[in-house]
Every structure is written in C-alpha cells, then in structure tokens.
Amino acid sequence: MEQAAQSRASASVDYLLHLADNALVLGQRNAQWCGHGPVLEEDIALANISLDLIGQARLLYQHAASLIEPRTTEDALAYFRDPAQFRNYTLLELPHHGPLAGTAAAQRDYATTIVRNFLYSALMLLLWEGLQQSADTQLAAIAGKSVKENRYHFRHARDWLVRLGDGTAESHARTQAALEHLMPYTQEFWSVSPAEAQAAAAGTGVDARAWRKRWDELVNDALIEATLKRPNQSGFVPRGKEGLHSEHLSYVLGEMQSLARQHPGAAW
C-alpha cells in the first residue's frame, strides 16, 4: 500500500514550475550566445546546453500541466504566464554583461555566463541526484535524465572557470568581477519557499539546504584551482522563486514570448 501511495504522489505545481522556470530562463539566456560565441566550439556547446535545459523545462511543464485543471499545455505555461508568475532564481535572469554594465564594450561577457552556469550547475548536480529518490515517480524519472545532462554542464562550466581564472590578467580580472557580482545571488539557493517546504515535507522534493556543504566544497575546490577568491555572500536575499524578480526577466520573456503571443493558437 505504501508503494501504491508513493506511485500516486505528485509534487506541487508550484514546485515543478520552480524547477521548470529555472531551466527555461537559463536556457533562453544561454541561447543568446548562438552566433556570438568566442570560438565556434563554444557557440555549439552553449547551444547544446540550452537545448538540454529547454528539454528539461518541457518535461517539467508537461508534468505540471497534467496536474492543472482544466488541463493546460506546456506552451501555455512557458509563453502565456507573466513575469510575476515565474518562479526561477533571480540569478538566472540577469544579463550576460554583469559587472560591465554602464561602461560595457559589449553586451556579452563570457566570464559572467560561465560563472553563472558554474554556480547553478553545481547546485543542480546535487538537487537532481536527490530528486531521483522523489516520491513523485515522474519527477524522479526526469531527474534521472537531467542529472546526466547536468554532469556535462557542470564539467563544461568548471573547465572554463579554471581556464579563465588561471589565464591571463584580463581573463582573471573579468572572472573575479563576475564572481563578485553573481555570488550574492546564490543566497536564494538556501532560502526556502513555501512550495519547496511543502515538497520536502511530502517527500516529492528536496530541501536544498541539506546540500549546502557539498555545494560549498564543489565551489571552493574549483575556485582554488582557478586562483579566484570567493567573495562574501551577505546582503539582500533575492526572492525570484517567490515571484519577486529583477527588471531583467520581463525583457527575457518579452523576447521569448512575443511570437506565441502575437499568434495565439497558431499551428506550425
């Protein structure tokens, strides 16, 4: 009977949307490098990472849509929700130029992208591992697929973090600046939203705080190898996963959602 109850367990829609929105927004951000990568191989690598993330988002949106009555679709969840309805980490919606803002020579700074991908993929490496044991069997299956993809995302970001940090004086300075700009946003990883608390209590989700020590170890080991100094994480705690976003999310969604909203119900 216990096994039957577990097979029927489903994570809350808000928790599934949190995971899906994370993947979708970062996938959209990384896709902005398509045609602009520093070298051809990296152009392709980031495009592939984006496709992985959007694939993860699709599976999670499909699962969430199946739990909503009346039944909705993955497209409706991705394209027809407004910014305040999204539950992604604030870190993931920030622009690529980060600390270059205001005096930027370009709209994209590769160090900012790599540092963000590293910090997030280090977290998801641990969370997807934990979610493989979810009482929500469909979410556990999605986690089993996603953790394999995330291992590559983490390895790619870590390799570039070391290459940039322990590279030239210019690459080191840019990577350190990106780290100082982005690290404070990781405080949101360790705050607990109502949806996360409910999922952890039900056994369908995990409490990220249980993985903080391992995340710190992954981050610190890489930063030492990259000759980078870990900055302080104190200050304002972002609340993107509770729907309180920076101004940047509306621009990301405007770019992503415009076609679907101009032609609602269109079939391709």
Cα 237 from chain centroid (whole Å) = 17
Please report which confidence band the pLDDT of residue 7 belongs to, taking 50, 70 and 90 as the band edges. Answer: very low
What pTM was computed for the model? 0.91
Q: Report pLDDT for 255.
A: 85
Compute the average pLDDT of residues 240-257: 88
Q: How confident is the model over 144-157, as a mean pLDDT? A: 97
Structural domains of the chain, ranges and CATH numbers in brackets:
10-262 (1.20.1260.10)
- Is the pLDDT at 126 greater than 60? The verdict is yes
Task: Give residue 262's pLDDT.
Answer: 82
Looking at residue 36, what is its pLDDT?
79
Is 213's pLDDT higher than 90? yes
How high is the pLDDT of residue 152?
97
| Mean model confidence pLDDT for the chain | 89
- Determine which of 28-37, 84-93, 216-225 has the lowest per-residue pLDDT on average: 28-37
Which residues, in sequence order, are CB contacts of 200 under 8 Å at separation 6+? 192, 206, 207
Q: Which residue in 29, 214, 230 sits closest to 122, CA to CA?
A: 214
Positive or negative, the Cα torsion across 193, 184, 33, 120?
negative
- Report pLDDT digits (tens) over 218-248: 999 999 999 999 998 777 888 889 888 998 9
Q: How far apart are the C-alpha atoms of 196 and 125, rounded to whole Å? A: 17
Asked which of 101-105, 190-194, 263-267 is least confident by mean pLDDT, the reply is: 101-105
Comparing 123 with 72, the larger pLDDT belongs to: 123
- How confident is the model over 182-195, as pLDDT tens digits? 999 999 999 999 99
- 26 class by beta-carbon count within 10 Å (0-12 exposed, 13-18 middle, 19+ buried): buried
C-alpha 239/C-alpha 227 separation (Å) is 31
Q: What residue type is 201 in one-letter code?
A: A
Show the tokens assigned to 5. 């109850």
